[in-house]
Amino acid sequence: MDRLDHVDAAIQFLDALGIERAAFVGNSMGGQTSLRLATEHPERISHLVTMGPPVGRMPSLFGAGDGPSEGLKVLIEAYRDASPENMRRLVEIMCYDKACFATPELCDARSQAALARPEHLANYVAGLPQGAPLPRWVDPALLPGITVPTLLIHGRDDRVVSFESSLFLLANIPDSRLVLLNRCGHWAMIEHAEEFNRLVIDFVRGNPGDE
């Protein structure tokens, strides 16, 4: 197994726990991993829920034309220098309500956690030229083959991954629906936790799929 292959890691996790099928809920990179899993191992997934996943390296109508988004550029800089100041910039760009969520306590805690694992930071930065942290992306041509019920949740104010990516997924995954949230950045599950939890619970309960 490629140690960077998140899908293989997820399948091994299911096998270790004896779980045949599961609902996958993924934010950002986790959403991309869940999309790949749904296309490559459809027998192991019952429901698909994504929040702000990147689709891949493709032309963008709404995103910046000079490479990574504004948010991703800040994220990369925070991995290169995980100072409290850079973590503050990262948390602020991840959310819409900065006063509520980008607290000094959270920024300091994230900085301390990152600095405690310098080898992780170094591996991330060193792997960027090779596509880290996602060396493999979902094949967009396979998206129409996803048959499980799919819920796409995205913040309209997401500065890391434009909601354009979820519009693309909505157009290509047959059994999908999209909830686009105003006053919401890249962390829908944090900024709108109560609504997010209700949406996911109702979706899984109300869409049994082919189980």
Tokens of 126: 């060193």
Q: Could you say which of 6, 47, 154, 186 is catalytic? A: 186
Q: What are phi and psi of 161, to 5 degrees?
A: -130, 115
Q: Is 186 one of the catalytic residues?
A: yes
User: Hey, is 24 helix, strand or coil?
Assistant: strand
Torsion of CA 120, 122, 127, 128, to 10 degrees: 110
Amino acid at 81: D
- In sequence order, what DSSP letters do the residues of 124-135 get, joined into one string? HHHHGGGTTT-S
Instruction: Identify each DSSP E strand in the chain by its residue range.
Output: 22-27, 45-51, 150-155, 176-181
Catalytic residue numbers read 186
